Structure 1
Amino acid sequence: MRARGVPVACRDVPSAVATAPPRPSHVEPVEIEKLADLIGARVLRAPGRSADAAPVTGATLRAQHVRPGDLFAALPGTRVHGADFAQNALDAGAVAVLTDQAGVDRAGLAEHPAVRDGSVSVLVHDDPRGVLGAASALIYGDPSRKLKILGVTGTSGKTTTSYLLESALQAAGFCTGLVGTVETRIAGERLDSAFTTPEAPDLQALLAVMVEHGVTFVPMEVSSHALAMGRVSGTRFTVGAFTNLSQDHLDFHRDMEDYFQAKALLFDGRAEHEVVCVDGEWGRRLVKDGTVTVSTEGDATWSATDVQAFATGEQTFTAHGPDDLKLHVRLRLPGPFNVANALLAIGALHAAGVPTWAIERGLAEVDVPGRMERVALGQDFTAVVDYSHKPGAVAAVLDAARAQVDGKVIVVLGCGGDRDVAKRPLMGEAAARRSELLIVTDDNPRSEDPAEIRAAMLAGAEEVPADERGEVVEIGDRRAAIAAAVDRAGTGDIVVVAGKGHETGQEVAGVVHPFSDREELAAALRHRLRDPEGTDVRRGQVNEEAS
C-alpha cells in the first residue's frame, strides 16, 4: 500500500511495524578498530585478543532492543546509567559496548568474562553520547550521504513546514521519507513518532531503511533536544531551515540564549544550504554569507506580497525570490505564520533544486494533522484543533482565528505537567487577551496536580486588565471543557481547542488515557446538532463518525 501521491519509484515498506525502531535488512559488518578510530575511543579488552573481536552490525541505546551483533551504547543519564543494563544487552547478543569510564567501573566491564575472553569489546569515551551519532552512521553505511535531508528547526512551525516540503517533493515525483512530531513515514508508510527526532542509532537505522526503499528526499524536524544531545550527529543535511524562536523547553535549557544556541547547531556547517526566517531577532542572528533569508515583513531572499485570506481558512500570496522569480501560492492553512512557514519551505525547496511548478502544486494540497485542523459537521461556526502549546504559538493561532471570523473567539487551553512552568501564566495571559471566552482546562498533567497547573494559567489571565480580556472560566475535565465551548458558540464564532493537536492520549498520574481533541470536538458538535438547545453535556464514547 502507498500513501496518496507517493511516486511509484518508492519500494513498498512492510505495513506491520514492530515496537522496536525499524532497521535495514542488510548491514555490512564494521570492525571494532575502524569504529574506535572514527570516534576516538579507547578499546578495552584482553591483551592479544584483537583478531578475535566480533564486528558490529547494528546499534542501540536500549537494552531491550539489542540484536545479536549490536553495539550497545551505555550512556550516563540524569537518574540512571546505561551501564546498569549492560549485562542485559550482552545476554541479548551485543558484541560491543560504548560507554564512559564511569560506566566501565559501574558495570565491572574490565573484569567481565566476555571482555576478558575477547568475545565482547568495550569502547571507552569521555563523551559517548557525543560520538554515538557518528558511530551509528558508520555502522549503518552513512545513509545521509545517499539522501537529501531537509532539516527544519525552530519553536513553532516545524511540523507544518515539513509537511509542506514533503507535499512539494512528492508533486515533483520524488520518493520521500518524513521524520517528525506527528509521524514518521517511509515511502508513504506511516510509523508513530516517539520523539520529534529519534535517538542517534534509531535515526541512522531509519535513514538506512529509507535508502533501501528508494527514498531520495527526507524532510526532518530537528528539535533542540536532538541538537543538544547529539541525536543528529553524523547526519548530513542538504538544507537546514529555521522557523522562529519563542519561549519553550526552559525545563531543559538554562535560558533562552541556551535554547537558541542549541537550535544554532543546525547552522554550524553541517547543512549544505541554510534557509532562515528573519522576521525575528533570533533568526537574524543566524544570517551569514550565503544564507537564504525569508521574511513576511521586509527585504529578504524570499518575500511575500498580495496576501489574501479567505473565510474558508485558505489564503493566497505571491512569493518573490532571487532573479525576479515569482510563485503564485495557494494554502489551505490560515494565519500569517503559515505564510512564513510556506516561504521557508519555498526557500528550502528551491535551494534543493525542486522545480517551481511542483512547489506551487504541492503547497496547495497540504493539510496538517492537529495544526489549525477544521472539524466541520455542518455547524454555523468554525471549530478547529491546534497543537499550540507555548505562549508565542497560542498568540499567533488566536490572532489567525480572530482574522478568520467576525464573531467571538472561544478557546480551550491547558498546560502540560512536568514541563516549563514559567510559560503557564504567559499562556493564560496570551489566551485571555485574545479571546471572548477562555476555558482553562487540563492538558497532560503527568505527575503534577492539575489544579496547580490551572491556577498558574489563571493567574496569568488575571494579570490582563479586565477591559482587555474576555471571560475566563475553569473546567478541569477536558471533555467537559470542549463541550462547554461548543455550547457557548454562536453563529460566526470560532472555537479553538488548543494544546494537544494530533495527540491521541492524555497522561494523568503516569497513565495515558485515550483522548483525542478532534474526536471530542466532533462528538460535542454532533451532540449540539442533535440537541441545539444544549440541555446537557455529552460524556459518552465517540463513535466512528469522528474518524
Structure 2
Amino acid sequence: MESIQKPIHSLISGIAGVTVHGSENVVVNKIIIDSRRVLPGSLFVALRGTQTDGHQYVETASDLGAAAILCEKLPAQLRAGITYIQAQDSASAMGFIAASFYDQPSKKVTLVGVTGTNGKTSVATFLFQLFRALGYRCGLLSTVQNQIEDEVIPSTHTTPDAVALNELLALMHEKGCSHVFMEVSSHAVSQHRITGLHFAGGIFTNITHDHLDFHKTFDNYITAKKGFFDQLPKTAFALVNIDDRRGSVMVQNTKARIETYSLQTLATYNGKILSDTLTGMHMEINNQEVWFRVIGRFNGYNLLSVYGAAIALGESPEEVLTALSNLNSPPGRFEQIHSVDNIVGIVDYAHTPDALENVLQTIAHLRHGNEQVITIVGCGGNRDAAKRPKMAEIACNLSTRVILTSDNPRYEEPQDILDQMMKGVPPLKFKNTIVVPDRHEAIFKAVAEANPEDIILIAGKGHETYQEIRGVKHNFDDRQVLREAFSSFHSHKE
C-alpha cells in the first residue's frame, strides 16, 4: 500500500466529544498503539488496556517524534509542536480515526460480521467459500486466518485492533475484493475494535457460557454481543438464530432489517435435517432438498445462516444451494482423519461446554453400533475457570472413555486445571476417566486403546498449530500428532 498522510482535522471530523490542543493542520503518517513503534510523524494512541495503560508511554512516544497524541487524560506538560487529541474513550475515537485514515474501506466493500459463542469461524469461512464460488473476489477475517482470495495472512486475534482491521480492509479493497466476511468477537465489540466500521449485515449464531474471565457476568457477555447489532445501520440486515432464546434479544434495538433462521420453528429461512451420516448431511432448506458434504446439527444451523445471508445480499437461491453443497468444513472444525484400519479421528475446536456437547451429540447420532467414543479434552489456562468441571462432566456423560489432558495452560499449572476438571467427573464415570497431562501422550494412549470403527474426539484446539506454555508457543498440531499415532499403532491393529 502507498504511504498515507492525513491532517488531524480530516481524521477527527464528525467525532463527538473530542477536543484538540494544538494545531489541527498537523499531518500524521501512521497510527500507532505501541509506543516502541512510534516514528516521526506518527499519531500515538494511549489506550487503557487490561494489562497496561498507554498513558504511561505518552512521553516515550513524544521523545520518538510523535506528531500527535490521542489520549483520555492530558499529560501535565503539553509539548510545543505536538497536537493532543483528548477523547472520552481513546479506543472508540481510534476506531473512527482509523476508518478515516484509510478512507472508509468498510464502505467500499460488502462487509458482513458473524458473532456468537460457537460457529463464527465456520459461518464466516463458508460465506467466504460460497461467494468465491459465486464468482466474487473475497476477503476473510477469522480466528483461523485472514485471507485475501488465496493469499493467507496469519491472524493473532479473532478480530484485529481497529487500525490493523482498517488497514486489512483497505488492502482487500485495493486487491479487488467486493465482499469481506469477518468474525466479530465480544471482546472486539467491548474494546471498540469494530467502532467506525460500516457493515452490510450481521449474523448471530448462538450464545452460551464463555469468556466470563473477561466479561465477568453472563449479562455483560450478552450485552457485548448485542452491541454489535445495536451499531448496525438501517441499510444492513440482522440475521439471527431464533432457536436460541436470546436470538430475539440481540435485535431488540437494532435499526437493521431483521431476518431469522431456524431448524425448529417458522422463520425467514427454515431448515430441516433429513439424514446425517459420517459422509454427509441431507437437508431441506426453504422447501428445497440438498445434500451437503459437512455433517452435524450444528452445521445445519451454520449452513442455514449462510444461505440466509446470501439471499439477504441478493443472491439466487438455486445458485447458492448448488454452491453450498460443494463446500467443506474449515480446518479443525469436525475435521475427520481415518486410520488405515478405520478408526475415526475427529479434531474439533470445541472449547466451551455447549460446543463440546454439540460435537458429542453429533457423534452419538452418527454411531451405528457399539463403537467406543474416546474423548480427549482439556481447558485453557488464564481463561474462564467455571466451565472446567462442566466440560469434564459433559465429556464423561457422552463418551465411553475420557482422557483429560492439557490444552493451552498459558501461565497456569496444567495439573491445577485438570484438578478443577476432575471435580466435574460423575462418580459413576471415574473408572472410565483418566488424567494424562501430556497432550501428545494422551493422543497416543487413545489410539493405542481404540479398535476399528471406534471414534476418537480430540477437542479444544482444532486448527491451532501450537501449545502455549508460560508465554511460549510450542509447535503442536492435534491433527499431525493423531496421524503419527495412527502410523505408529497401525502394525499391531491389522
Q: With the length of structure 2 as denominator, give the TM-score of the two structures.
A: 0.94
Give the CA deviation at 1:78: 3.3
Paired position in structure 2 for 1:387: 349
8 Å CA contact 1:172, 1:355 repeated in 2: no
Structure 2 equivalent of residue 319 of structure 1 = 285
Shift of 1:85: 3.0
* 1:296 has 2:268 as partner: no
Structure 2: 5+ residue runs without aligned partners?
Answer: none
- For residues 315-464 of structure 1, the aligned pairs below 5 Å read 315-320=281-286, 326-363=287-324, 364-406=326-368, 407-462=371-426
Letter in 2 for 1:134: F
Distance 1:196 1:486 in 2: 32
Whether the aligned pair in 2 keeps the contact of 1:164 and 1:362 (CA below 8 Å) is: no
Alignment partner of 1:97: what SS? strand
| 1:180-231 deviation line (CA, Å, top 9, x unaligned) | 1000012321011110001011111111111111011011000000001110
Secondary structure of the residue that 2:212 maps to in structure 1? Answer: coil
Corresponding residue for residue 21 of structure 2:
44
Q: Which residue of 2 aligns with 1:168?
A: 130
The equivalent residue for 2:46 is 74
Aligned counterpart for 1:157 among listed residues 113, 116, 119: 119
State the match for 1:30 in structure 2.
Answer: 6
Alignment of 1:181-192 (within 5 A): 181-192=143-154
Q: Determine if the alignment matches structure 1 residue 111 to structure 2 residue 78.
A: yes
Q: Is the 8 A contact 2:161 2:193 kept in 1?
A: yes
Q: Identity percentage over the alignment? A: 36
Which of 29, 39, 54 pairs up with 1:57? Answer: 29
Asked whether the equivalents of residues 369 and 502 of structure 1 are also in contact (C-alpha less than 8 Å), the reply is yes
Deviations 1:6-26 (A, max 9, x none): xxxxxxxxxxxxxxxxxx325
Q: Distance in 2 between matches of 1:25 and 1:379?
A: 55
* CA deviations over 1:394-416 (Å, ceiling 9, x no partner): 00011111222231211100000
SS of residue paired to 1:156: coil
Report the CA distance between 1:91 and its aligned residue.
5.2
- Counterparts of 1:66 and 1:357 in 2: how far apart (Å)? 52
Is 1:99 equivalent to 2:71 in the alignment? yes
Taking a change above 3 Å as real, the CA distance of residues 91 and 366 of structure 1, as seen in their structure-2 partners, is farther
Partner of 2:105: 143
**Within the alignment, does 1:509 sit opposite 2:475 as a pair?**
no
**Structure 2 letter corresponding to 1:296:** L
- Pairing of 1:192-271 with structure 2 (within 5 A): 192-271=154-233
Q: How far, CA to CA, are the matches of 1:309 and 1:153 in structure 2?
A: 26
Distance 1:173 1:89, change over 3 A: farther
- Deviation for aligned residue 1:88: 4.4
Alpha-carbon distance in structure 2 between the residues aligned to 1:510 and 1:418: 11
Instruction: Please state whether the residue corresponding to 1:375 is helix, strand or coil.
Output: strand
Q: Is the 8 A contact 2:226 2:249 kept in 1?
A: no
| Residue pair 2:230, 2:251 contacting (<8 A) in 1 also | no
Change (3 A) 1:236 1:379: farther
Please name the residue that 2:483 is paired with.
Answer: 522
Provide the residue aligned with 1:537 in structure 2.
Answer: none
Work out whether residues 128 and 138 of structure 2, in 8 Å CA contact, stay in contact via their aligned partners in 1: yes
* 2:273/2:283 contact within 8 Å kept: yes
- Bigger mean CA offset, 78-87 vs 256-265: 78-87
Q: Kindly provide the CA deviation profile for residues 3-54 of structure 1, in whole angstroms up to 9, marking residues without a partner as x.
A: xxxxxxxxxxxxxxxxxxxxx3253x33212333432321123xxxx37x43
Deviations 1:292-315 (A, max 9, x none): 110111111111125211232x11
Of the structure 1 ranges 511-520 and 175-184, higher mean CA displacement relative to structure 2 is found in 511-520
**Amino acid aligned to 2:420:** A
Contact 1:411–1:435, Cα closer than 8 Å, also in 2: yes
The 8 Å contact of residues 167 and 365 in structure 1, kept in 2 or not, is answered as: yes
Q: Partners in 2 of 1:94 and 1:496 — Cα distance? A: 52
2:273 and 2:49 map into 1 onto residues whose CA distance is: 51
Q: Find the partner of 1:127 among 80, 89, 92.
A: 89
Q: Secondary structure at the match of 1:86?
A: helix
Give me the TM-score of the superposition, normalised by structure 1: 0.85
Q: Give a deviation string over 1:407-457, Cα, whole Å, max 9, x none.
A: 121110000000001000110111111000010000011111111100111
Shift in Å, 1:163: 1.1
- What SS class does the counterpart of residue 215 from structure 2 fall into? coil
Q: In structure 2, how many angstroms separate the alpha carbons of the residues matched to 1:84 and 1:404?
A: 56
Cα distance in 2, alignment partners of residues 431 and 516 from structure 1:
21
Instruction: Give the letter aligned to residue 309 of structure 1.
Output: D
> Where in structure 1 do 4 or more consecutive aligned residues deviate above 6 Å?
none
**Cα distance, 1:87 vs structure 2:** 4.4
Long gaps (5+) in structure 1: 1-23, 321-325, 534-547
